[in-house]
């Protein structure tokens, strides 16, 4: 079968809400685009829809029971594990409040919830429920947990509910077309950065003061690597300049390894010369020891004083002669997330700044997720909840792609 989703394996989980009938149309549309769809229905879903509809449309028998092990062709098969192992994407539509709660709480008491325990993020979740259920603190807390783990929970639709007495509000399942658009975004990423030469910096720097000792910081490089990999998948020609991060170079792009702030400056400025855009996610040391010795310094009695000097400000240098090129910076903040970041955005001539919290429970440094505020040169602020860094990377690149289209349209 040809189509945008040809060869893609999708597990479509359907839980027991009135919107389950819309999942039939979603299964049809996914199949028409070439996807191999395996429907998994909860017991409650069976009260709303017939498995036969899914079977006819997808050509596969839906699974709805854990025992006897459905979907297994041999004794000992464990389809609740093998299905997610082979799936390109797990979609849950509609996702009831109950299912969301079980997913967030790690409960596996039926086939769908057990399967979700082994689903790699991101699973795509389309909630559907009464507006008061959606607004409940329990559901909101569970949604937040899923987002933090890198799953993609769609915003439910606003409008009239299934029954007039339920009134209007937020809780309707997103329409199958909107879900399909998200599936396409995950499985057939847009090539909206094609033609862009992009330089990304990542990781910490090391500033040596003798043969074996150096000053550094807690940056892991995960944010910059996620940005570089995602930008390459979206068609950009990426040069990743990485400090000592200990991460493997992402496929499909050029990774240049550097150690000190001075080396990072040299590599970044060389790549910046003929780049269209730069994302500076590295935590470059602001200071380095004024003197570094080639030998190992012997310990002596009493305190040791190291004199530090400023390193060059790479971002400011890039911003100075920016022209039409797009420049994105990061600000690591321990206090007010936006105040200092706005200042930095202006001082360094950036188009966009990503302010990350780097203290307390929300600390982004070294973690897999981050709490961020994105601020544009025009002053527009977008506050994000704590998200996995690949999800945050995708949001940052959406904004970069939008700015890139604007730049291209004025050329």
Ligand X SMILES: Cc1cc2nc3c(=O)[nH]c(=O)nc-3n(C[C@H](O)[C@H](O)[C@H](O)COP(=O)(O)O)c2cc1C
Report, in Å, the least distance between residue 94 CB and ligand X.
6
205: contact with ligand X by CB under 6 A: no
Using the contact rule CB under 6 A, the part of the chain among 37-45, 215-223, 294-302, 316-324 near ligand X is: 37-45
Among 30, 92, 125, 129, binds ligand X (CB under 6 A): 129
**What angle, 0 to 180 degrees and rounded to 10, lies between the N-to-C axes of helices 51-58 and 20-32?**
10
Residue matched to tokens 């079968």: 1
Residue 332 interacts with ligand X (CB under 6 A)? no
Torsion of CA 344, 349, 353, 359, to 10 degrees: -20
40 binds ligand X (CB under 6 A): no
Candidate ranges 17-25, 222-230, 306-314, 326-334; the one touching ligand X (CB under 6 A): 17-25
Tell me the closest approach of the beta carbon of residue 153 to ligand X, in angstroms.
13
- Minimum Å gap between C-beta 35 and ligand X is 23
Give me the least distance between CB of 229 and ligand X, in Å please: 34
Partner residues linked to 218 by β-bridges: none
Contact criterion met (CB below 8 Å) for 58 and 132: no
The tally of CA atoms less than 13 A away on the side-chain side of residue 55 is: 9
Q: Is 91 in the site for ligand X (CB under 6 A)?
A: no
Residue with nearest beta carbon to ligand X = 17
Q: How far apart are CA 338 and CA 270, in angstroms?
A: 31
Q: Residue 131 corresponds to which tokens in the numbers above?
A: 């507006």
CB nearer to ligand X: give 91 or 240. 91
Q: Does 63 bind ligand X (CB under 6 A)?
A: no
5, 11, 17, 318: which one contacts ligand X (CB under 6 A)? 17
Binding ligand X (rule: CB under 6 A), the pick from 40, 128, 326, 393 is: 128
Instruction: Answer yes or no whether residue 154 interacts with ligand X by CB under 6 A.
Output: no
Cis peptide leading into 205, omega within 30 of 0?
no
Any catalytic annotation for residue 98? no
Q: How far is the CB of 322 from ligand X (least distance, A)?
A: 50
Query: How far apart are CB 403 and ligand X at their closest, in Å?
Result: 39
Q: Which of 351, 404, 394 minimizes the C-alpha distance to 192? A: 404
Distance between CA atoms of residues 48 and 134, nearest Å: 20
Burial of 73 from C-beta contacts in 10 A (0-12 / 13-18 / 19+)? exposed
Residue (99 or 146) nearer to ligand X, CB: 99
- The answer to whether residue 143 forms part of the interface with ligand X (CB under 6 A) is no
Residue 96 interacting with ligand X (CB under 6 A): yes
How many Cβ atoms sit within 10 Å of the Cβ of residue 248? Answer: 8
Rounded CA-CA distance 46/56 in Å is 16
Among 38, 42, 64, 201, the residue binding ligand X under the rule CB under 6 A is 42
By the 10 Å C-beta count (0-12 exposed, 13-18 middle, 19+ buried), 369 is classed as: buried
Q: How many residues bind ligand X (CB under 6 A)?
A: 15
Q: Would you count residue 18 as binding ligand X (CB under 6 A)? A: yes
Q: Determine the Cα–Cα distance for residues 396 and 25; give it in Å rounded to an integer.
A: 32
Interface residues toward ligand X, by CB under 6 A: 15-19, 42, 44-45, 96-99, 128-129, 133
Active-site positions read 217
């Amino acid at each position: 079968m040809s189509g945008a989703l040809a060869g893609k394996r999708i597990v479509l989980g359907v839980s027991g809400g009135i919107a389950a009938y819309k999942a039939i149309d979603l299964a049809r549309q996914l199949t028409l685009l070439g996807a191999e769809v395996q429907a998994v229905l909860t017991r409650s879903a069976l009260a709303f829809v017939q498995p036969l509809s899914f079977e006819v449309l997808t050509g596969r028998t839906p699974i709805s029971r854990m025992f006897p092990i459905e979907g297994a062709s041999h004794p000992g098969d464990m389809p609740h594990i093998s299905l997610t192992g082979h799936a390109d994407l797990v979609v849950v539509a509609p996702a009831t409040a109950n299912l969301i709660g079980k997913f967030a709480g790690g409960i596996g008491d039926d086939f769908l919830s057990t399967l979700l325990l082994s689903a790699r993020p991101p699973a795509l979740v389309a909630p559907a429920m009464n507006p008061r259920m959606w607004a409940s603190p329990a559901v909101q807390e569970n949604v937040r947990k899923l987002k933090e783990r890198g799953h993609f929970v769609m915003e439910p639709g606003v409008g009239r509910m299934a029954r007039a007495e339920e009134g209007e509000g937020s809780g309707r399942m997103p329409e199958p077309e909107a879900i399909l658009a998200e599936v396409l975004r995950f499985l057939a990423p847009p090539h909206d950065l094609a033609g862009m030469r992009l330089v990304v910096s990542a990781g910490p720097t090391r500033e040596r003061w003798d043969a074996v000792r150096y000053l550094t910081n807690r940056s892991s490089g995960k944010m910059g690597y996620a940005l570089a990999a995602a930008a390459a998948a979206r068609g950009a020609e990426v040069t990743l300049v990485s400090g000592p991060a200990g991460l493997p170079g992402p496929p499909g792009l050029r990774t240049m390894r550097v150690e000190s702030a001075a080396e990072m400056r040299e590599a970044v400025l060389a790549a910046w010369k003929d780049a269209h855009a730069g994302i500076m996610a590295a935590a470059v040391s602001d200071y380095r020891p004024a003197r570094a010795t080639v030998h190992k310094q012997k310990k002596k009695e009493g305190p040791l004083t190291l004199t530090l000097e400023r390193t060059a400000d790479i971002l400011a240098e890039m911003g100075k002669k920016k022209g039409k090129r797009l420049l994105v910076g990061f600000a690591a903040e321990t206090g007010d997330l936006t105040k200092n970041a706005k200042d930095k955005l202006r001082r360094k001539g950036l188009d966009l700044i990503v302010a990350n919290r780097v203290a307390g429970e929300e600390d982004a440094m070294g973690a897999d997720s981050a709490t961020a505020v994105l601020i544009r040169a025009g002053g527009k602020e977008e506050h994000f909840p704590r998200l996995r860094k690949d999800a945050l990377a995708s949001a940052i690149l959406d904004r970069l792609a939008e700015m890139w289209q604007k730049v291209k349209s004025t050329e």
